[in-house]
């Protein structure tokens, strides 16, 4: 047994600011590692809980999970606050957006910046704090700070004790007004692909890591016992390892036949693994989210998405034939958007009978260019992008056609944070506005061909479709 030096503490505090409406896996997973070491660990999810200053004041280690742009911006004032009330605390930032903003985070008072596969390194830091070796430690260069071979971890079953109940998080809405409690887990991390706009890429650099199936299934079983009726798999791409993925959902369906789930899969993988779509359907997959981003082949090439417009059309047909609901997401506004091209996107969504499949916020999304983005490797993007803005943590850009920026702002105002079960009236309003601005006739709105209700989560943000901090209210 180690002996603590005078003034040392065993307390660790893990903080999440925002994780897309889900109970934070990014707190529950490292909590299991720290608690296994006998380290007293408290969790605060600021999206659902109030900040407890007493916990921050007494903690030896305070760690912020930063999985996305919005979470990082929301964390900034909290990091400053923790540093001001606890000058001796070891402050850590971990998650995808931590290494992308390492210098900025350290300027706020962060000591350690961790990127991918952070649990082992965070546990090592916690041990140092618990052993009283706080002073004189150099700033740690971490696996996520510069892409190289990330460790292959033997994961632990996440420990969710201390977090708000699942019923307080994002819910699934079904036909007839049925609402289901949603759990969240991850069967893999990282991605084999190098899409230029994706925040996973600078940290994982094409690497892909699986979570052991027994860990995933035990995590889901614990959430089912806590009331979960549906599971969202947060993998960047569920078919990075299709055999691993299908093995998990087949075992899941066998253990919990009434449980449903949703996943995220690239268009490219939907085509390549088309023979596996029926396996998703038969094991309870309600819908598949796919980051289509654009229907313009030139833009898809710049983003290095790995699919074309025709591939998207084929994926829509394949999913329809397999009885799998496809939920496409888009980055509708980017430096190459034209007024006519935006109208073409809306018209195609309507033509493919996907109006009910697309969350309205997806029609207002503006491309983010954060620090570390591979988009900055493209000469054309570097010419467009302005200086890095430390307030927004992005390279801000202005469209060459001011009418496009005005349209984006007006549509964003129309959409706001609206959650509507019938998306058609809002879509009609967006389409009417866009066609009016462009001077093009709007196609006659048609009723859905299938008339099928599309299940949806009541937190519609996804990936690059993150809300600004100003659009969120934390308790």
Q: What's phi and psi for 286, nearest 5 deg? A: -80, -35
* Confidence (pLDDT) at 267: 98
Average pLDDT over residues 136-163: 71
Indicate the domain borders of the chain.
12-130, 166-471
Query: Is pLDDT above 90 for 421?
Result: no
* Confidence (pLDDT) at 419: 59
Task: Report the C-alpha gap between 432 and 312 in whole angstroms.
Answer: 25
Superfamily of segment(s) 12-130: Flavodoxin domain (3.40.50.360)
Q: What is the pTM of this model?
A: 0.91
Query: Is pLDDT above 60 for 10?
Result: no
Q: Name which CATH class applies to 166-471.
A: alpha beta
Task: Report the C-alpha gap between 171 and 264 in whole angstroms.
Answer: 17
What is the per-residue pLDDT across 212-262, written as a single tens digit (0 to 9) for each? Answer: 999 999 999 999 999 999 999 999 999 999 999 999 999 999 999 999 999
What is the per-residue pLDDT across 36-74, written as a single tens digit (0 to 9) for each? Answer: 999 999 999 999 999 999 999 999 999 999 999 999 999
For residue 141, what are the contacts with CB-CB under 8 A and spacing of at least 6? Answer: none
3-state secondary structure of 125: helix
pLDDT category of residue 461 using cuts at 50, 70 and 90 = low
Asked if 331 contacts 320 with a C-beta cutoff of 8 angstroms, the reply is no
Average pLDDT over residues 445-451: 77
* Confidence (pLDDT) at 444: 80
What is the rounded average pLDDT for all residues in the chain? 90
Query: Is pLDDT above 90 for 474?
Result: no
* Confidence (pLDDT) at 144: 38
* Parallel/antiparallel/unpaired status of strands 388-389 and 394-395: antiparallel
> Which is more confidently placed, 5 or 313?
313
Sheet holding 171-173, edge to edge: 325-330, 285-293, 260-264, 230-233, 179-185, 171-173, 456-457
The answer to whether the 12-130 and 166-471 domains have the same CATH topology is no
Name which of 197, 199, 99 is nearest 141 in CA terms.
99
* Confidence (pLDDT) at 149: 79
């Amino acid at each position: 047994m180690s002996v603590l030096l005078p003034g040392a503490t065993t307390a660790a505090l893990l903080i999440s600011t925002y994780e897309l409406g889900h109970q934070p896996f990014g707190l529950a997973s490292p909590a299991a590692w720290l608690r296994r070491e006998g380290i007293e660990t408290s969790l605060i999810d600021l999206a659902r809980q109030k900040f407890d200053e007493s916990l921050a004041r007494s903690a030896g280690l305070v760690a912020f999970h930063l999985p996305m742009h919005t979470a990082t911006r929301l964390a900034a004032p909290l990091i400053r606050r923790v540093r001001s009330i606890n000058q001796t605390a070891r402050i850590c930032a971990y998650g995808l957006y931590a290494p992308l903003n390492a210098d900025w985070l350290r300027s706020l008072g962060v000591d350690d910046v961790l990127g991918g596969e952070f649990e082992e390194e965070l546990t090592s830091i916690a041990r140092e704090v618990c052993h009283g070796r706080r002073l004189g430690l150099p700033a740690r260069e971490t696996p996520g700070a510069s892409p190289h071979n990330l460790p292959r971890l033997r994961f632990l079953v996440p420990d969710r004790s201390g977090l708000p109940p699942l019923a307080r998080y994002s819910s699934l809405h079904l036909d007839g007004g049925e609402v289901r409690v949603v759990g969240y887990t991850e069967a893999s991390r990282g991605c084999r692909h190098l899409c230029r706009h994706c925040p996973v890429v600078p940290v994982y650099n094409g690497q892909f890591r699986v979570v052991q199936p027994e860990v995933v299934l035990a995590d889901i079983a614990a959430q089912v016992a806590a009331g979960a009726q549906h599971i969202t798999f947060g993998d960047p791409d569920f078919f990075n390892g299709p055999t691993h993925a299908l093995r998990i959902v087949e075992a899941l369906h066998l253990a919990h036949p009434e449980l449903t789930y949703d996943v995220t899969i690239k268009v490219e993988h939907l085509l390549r693994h088309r023979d596996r779509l029926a396996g998703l359907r038969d094991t309870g997959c309600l819908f598949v989210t796919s980051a289509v981003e654009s229907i313009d082949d030139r833009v898809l090439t710049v983003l290095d998405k790995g699919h074309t417009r025709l591939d998207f059309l084929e994926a829509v047909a394949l999913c329809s034939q397999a009885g799998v609901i496809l939920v496409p997401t888009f980055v509708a506004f980017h430096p190459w958007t034209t007024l006519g091209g935006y109208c073409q996107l809306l018209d195609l969504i309507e033509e493919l009978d996907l109006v009910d499949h697309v969350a309205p916020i997806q029609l207002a999304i503006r491309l983010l260019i954060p620090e570390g983005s591979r988009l900055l490797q493209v000469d054309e993007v570097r010419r467009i992008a302005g200086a890095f803005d430390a307030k927004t943590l992005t390279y801000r850009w202005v469209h060459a056609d001011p009418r496009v920026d005005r349209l984006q702002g007006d549509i964003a105002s129309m959409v706001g944070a609206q959650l509507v079960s019938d998306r058609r009236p809002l879509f009609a309003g967006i389409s009417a506005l866009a066609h009016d601005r462009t001077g093009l006739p709007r196609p006659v709105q048609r009723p859905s061909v299938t008339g099928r209700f599309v299940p949806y989560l009541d937190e519609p943000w996804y990936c690059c479709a993150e809300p600004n901090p100003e659009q969120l209210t934390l308790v």
